[in-house]
Amino acid sequence: MKKTRVKFCGLKRIEDIFAANELRPDYAGFVFWEKSSRNVSEQEAKELGRALLPDIKKVGVFVDEDPGRVAALLTDGIIDIAQLHGHEDEEYISKLRSLAEGACVIKAFVIKSKEDLERAGNSSADYLLLDSGKGTGQTFNWELIREAEFDKPFFLAGGLGAENVAEAIDKLSPYAVDVSSGIETDGVKDPDKMRQFMGEIL
């Protein structure tokens, strides 16, 4: 069985990149949402991405961003994948793919009910991201996912850390786990917590 993939999200300092290069997650997330404390500019993301190992995929995280800007970041190679956390609908995803041919899309869904899971399952995105909300750091009712059947891979996010990620993988068998605040101390990425998290991945 393939090892569960890992995404470190909200990287914004060169020290974060050095830690990621040492630990080799599959994905590194750069947040392009101005209201986030982890927000980075295009230039910062470009410089951080240059320092990142080439086999770690660069994911841009957006909230209701203009699709033209997202497409430009994809086309310019600043990011490899677009992760959408707002109200982006099927029309938005279609437009993004028309602007950036072959665009890979992760669509995030806040899961609070079976209806939310059904909505997620109908998405045309390449991957789903199942979360408790935008960076809340809280888990949600995992039993909802256990009862669902998806025909596409999903990232599990929300409240994950070294103390519970192994349980999450065992119960839900996600394609990938996504962590941000769970590998931070006082709002800053903590290399020791990043290392502990990776040590728990099955």
Residue burial 160-186, b: 16+ Cβ < 10 Å; e: rest? bbbeebbebbeebebbbbbbbbbbbee
Q: Where are the alpha helices (DSSP H) in the chain?
A: 14-23, 42-51, 67-75, 90-99, 114-121, 142-146, 165-172, 191-199
Residues in the chain: 202
- Relative to beta strand 184-185, strand 188-189 is antiparallel
Task: Indicate if 9 belongs to the active site.
Answer: yes
Candidates 26, 76, 116, 131; catalytic one? 131
> Which residue among the candidates 9, 104, 151, 190 is catalytic per the annotation?
9
Nearest of 134, 145, 142, 140 to residue 181 by alpha carbon: 134
User: Any idea which residue has 């669902």 for tokens?
Assistant: 148
With contact defined as beta carbons under 8 Å apart, do 33 and 62 qualify? yes
Based on the residue annotation, tell me whether 104 is a catalytic residue of this protein.
no
Residues designated as active site: 9, 131
